[in-house]
Amino acid sequence: MTAQTSEKRKVESSSGDSTLALVLRYLLLFFVDAFALIVVITLLATGNIGLGVTLAIATVGANIITFIPSLKPLRWMLPGLVLVTCFVIFPIFYTVYTAFTNYDSAGHLLTKRQTIDLILRSRGAYYAPDGARFYEWTIFQSESDPEQLALWLTRTNDSGETEVAFAPVGEAIQDLELDDGEPPATYEGYIQVTGADRIPLISVVERQVFGDGDDTVGIAGAGSAARPLVERLIYDAETDTIMDIATGITYNADDSIGEFVSQPIGLVYEEETGNLTVPGTNAVYTPDDSGIFTDFGLPYRYEADRGGLFSPASNAVIEEDADGVMSLPVNETLTPGYRVFIGGQNFSRVVDDNFNSESFETENENFFQQFAGAFNGELFTIFIWTFMFAFLSVFTTFWAGLFMAIILNDAKIPGKKIIRSLLIIPYAIPGVIGIVVWQGMLNGNLGIISTTIADIIGRPFFPFQEATTARIAVIVVNLWLGYPYMMLICSGALQAIPSDIYEAAAVDGASPTDRFWKITLPLLLVTVGPLLIASFVFNFNNYLIIEALTAGDPPIPGSSRAAGFTDILISYVYQLAFGSNRGADYGYASAITIIIFFITAGITLLQYRYTRTWEEVGENV
């Protein structure tokens, strides 16, 4: 104890920390390390390599920063750095990765390994071949050996007779001659398992094979056991195929699209029976009365003089090869598929869906018109409106906020604190609630604002029915939501302007207008400029207000995709990516996100270079 205490004092004197702070810091680091270790192990075990590695890097970085004395200043940024790595940098890389895959919820969510496991484990991986019998089953357990189980099987056959059988594991099935299929309490040393006692045995019997040799029984469901139940899907890792021995179709794993696609089926004609079989499988296809096989989409008939199968529909002939095998193309895929890297297909799809290059081939139009026409009509409209919406939002909220801030800065206003508190309210209310209330107030039938305006102008007023009024409504509601923020920052920035500048201006004879435009505003914009840019970018992607207030309405008539006049890029894109038949198309959405990011980043950079001029003005004052 003494030695440790003196060591602590040595450390204390060298680093200047108190003992308590030191102990607390290391203790915190221990817990962080332990927690991170558990999480990283779990992530790597479940296959989330990316996130696991990211977290490991972040934790190692945290340790390095804590223990190397020269990196001490970084300690204060440590929590921020870790969070940025995990929640900002990693999602960016993951989104970019996803944009190059076919990740969607229409059967491409799982990795290939997960998909193969799922397919082979599913109910569809087993089947009861033609002629199999289905029974109701009851579990029996051997008295002498509790691990030995058997099934009591009952069914009523087509003639109405009761068939009863008893099938132990690993022993031959006994067919019993009984009129009543009710399972007895005991049978040949086995006891019937009832009620809650069955439950622990369920997982055992689920995949158990009863009987032995060729005569086996397997449980197909809660009410049926099949005699026999046969494994149907067989995966061959070398050839990367799954063979279905019931249909004879072999599926190839096509890694370019992430699906298991059927190969042509190799059929052999049997003279004696008139059936088609697939060698090496249990598949047998029987023709109908007129000799036509109807299982392959188009009808086919075996005609020896044509040398194989002939389709009276398409007149196609599938000839027998040297071994007598006819390769009939079939068009089947297994469910589900899996996610694969598909390169830039999502990006080209974004371009194809939204960019009509034929527009450039039309003559008699200038380049700008061709460029505008190249976009789907509505995409261009939405693009322009998104910029206008973001700009107008910033413009209106800034001037409103500045106006309030200037007034409230003046000492002569009575009740300033109360007024200021009231004005902050829109900022304090959760956005969605405010928007929904506005939606109610603007409803053309019952909303108080709309009915009042209707009374004034003398006819019904439905703001959300026309593009212009709907857009004005959106701007007004966004103004209501956004001005308190601008008021606060302008208030702070105004107070940061030194008052001796104003005195100097007064001496030089500047008018109030000059004072505002030439002194206040430029100095204000130096501080507030970046915040205006941030506000512009925020409103560019302000999905919430559009979705909650108008849902994009009013709709654009004749648009190629569902779109409305108040839709901004992000709400239009959301519908494209998540409202299609493929459910959630994450790959497509990621590709669009990246494109929008580059557009937004480009605009931001331009704006920033422009506002840098304000900084220069500030420096010269």
Partner 1 sequence: MSRTRFVVIMAVVAAMLLGTLNTAFAQGNTLTIWADNERTPILQDLADDVLTELGIELEIVEMGLGDARDQLLVAGPVGEGPDILISAHDSIGQFVANGAVVPLDRSLFEAEFLGSGLDLFTFNGELYGVPYAIENVALIRNVDLVPEAPTSWEEVRTIGEELQASGEAQYGFVVQSGNTYHNFPITSAFGGYIFGRNEDGTFNTADLGLGSEGGLASAEWLSGMYVDGLMPPDVNDDVAFQLFEDGDAAMIVTGPWFSQRIIDTGVNYSIDLLPVSGAADGEAVGAPFSGGQGFVVSAFSENQLLAEIFLTEYVASTPFMQAIFDNGGRPPAFLDVDTSSDVNVGAFQAAGVNAIPMPAIPEMGAVWASSDNALTLISQGEDPVASYTDAVAQIADAIQIATSDERIVGVPGSHQAAAGCAGDWDPACDVTFMSDEDGDGVYTLTITLPAGDYEYKVAMNGGWDENYGVDGEANGSNIMLSLSEETEVTFTYDDSTNIITDSVNNPE
Considering only residues 275 through 304, tell me which ones interact with partner 1, judged by CB under 8 A. 297-299
Write the CB contacts of 266 (distance below 8 Å, at least 6 apart in sequence): 248, 278, 279, 325, 326, 327
123 in contact with partner 1 (CB under 8 A) = yes
> Within 217-327, where are the H helices?
none
Site string for partner 1, 436-455 (x = CB under 8 A): ----x--xxxx---------
47 binds partner 1 (CB under 8 A): yes
Pick the closest to residue 573 from 386, 393, 370 (CA basis): 386
Q: Which stretch binds partner 1 (CB under 8 A): 30-38, 90-98, 268-276, 425-433?
A: 30-38
**Dihedral through CA 363, CA 364, CA 369, CA 371, nearest 10?**
20
- Choices 23-31, 161-169, 256-264, 484-492 (CB under 8 A): range interacting with partner 1: 23-31
Stretch that binds partner 1, among 54-62, 198-206, 530-538, 593-601 (CB under 8 A): 198-206
CB of 280 to partner 1, least distance (A): 26
Residue 200 contacts partner 1 per CB under 8 A: yes
Q: What three-state secondary structure class fits 167?
A: strand
CA 51 vs. chain centroid, Å, equals 16
User: Is 464 a binder of partner 1 (CB under 8 A)?
Assistant: yes
Reading phi first (left if > 0) and then psi (alpha if -120 to 50, else beta), residue 208 is in beta
Contact status: 203 vs partner 1 (CB under 8 A): yes
Cβ 138 vs Cβ 616: under 8 Å: no
Is residue 349 part of the contact set for partner 1 (CB under 8 A)?
no
Give yes or no for residue 199 binding partner 1 (CB under 8 A).
yes
> Judged by CB under 8 A, does residue 234 bind partner 1?
no
Among residue numbers 365 through 384, which ones bind partner 1 (CB under 8 A)?
Answer: none
User: Scanning residues 101 to 120, which ones bind partner 1 (CB under 8 A)?
Assistant: 105-107, 109-111, 114-115, 118-119
Interaction pattern, residues 584-603, with partner 1; x per rule: CB under 8 A: x-------------------
Q: ∠526-527-531 over CA atoms, to 5°?
A: 110
Smallest distance, partner 1 to C-beta of residue 26, A: 6
Nearer to partner 1, 536 or 565 (CB): 565
- Judged by beta carbon, residue 58 or residue 108, the one nearer partner 1 is 108
Q: Which of 57, 316, 372, 537 binds partner 1 (CB under 8 A)?
A: 316
Kindly report the CA angle at 620 between 614 and 621, in degrees rounded to 5? 95
Per CB under 8 A, does 181 bind partner 1? Answer: no
8 counts as binding partner 1 under rule CB under 8 A: yes
- Indicate which single residue of 221, 291, 329, 498 sits in contact with partner 1 (rule: CB under 8 A): 221
Element (H, E) at 12: helix 2-15
Q: Based on CB atoms, which residue is closest to partner 1, 137 or 540?
A: 137
267 touches partner 1 by CB under 8 A = no
Residue type, 435: I
Contact between residue 180 and residue 162 where contact means Cβ atoms under 8 Å apart: yes
Write the CB contacts of 173 (distance below 8 Å, at least 6 apart in sequence).
165, 166, 167, 210, 211, 215, 216, 217, 227
Query: Using alpha carbons only, what angle is made at residue 379 by residues 609 and 393, rounded to the nearest 5 degrees?
Result: 50
Q: How many residues does the chain have?
A: 621
Cα-based angle 21, 26, 28 (whole degrees, multiple of 5): 95
Number of residues counted as binding partner 1 (CB under 8 A):
82
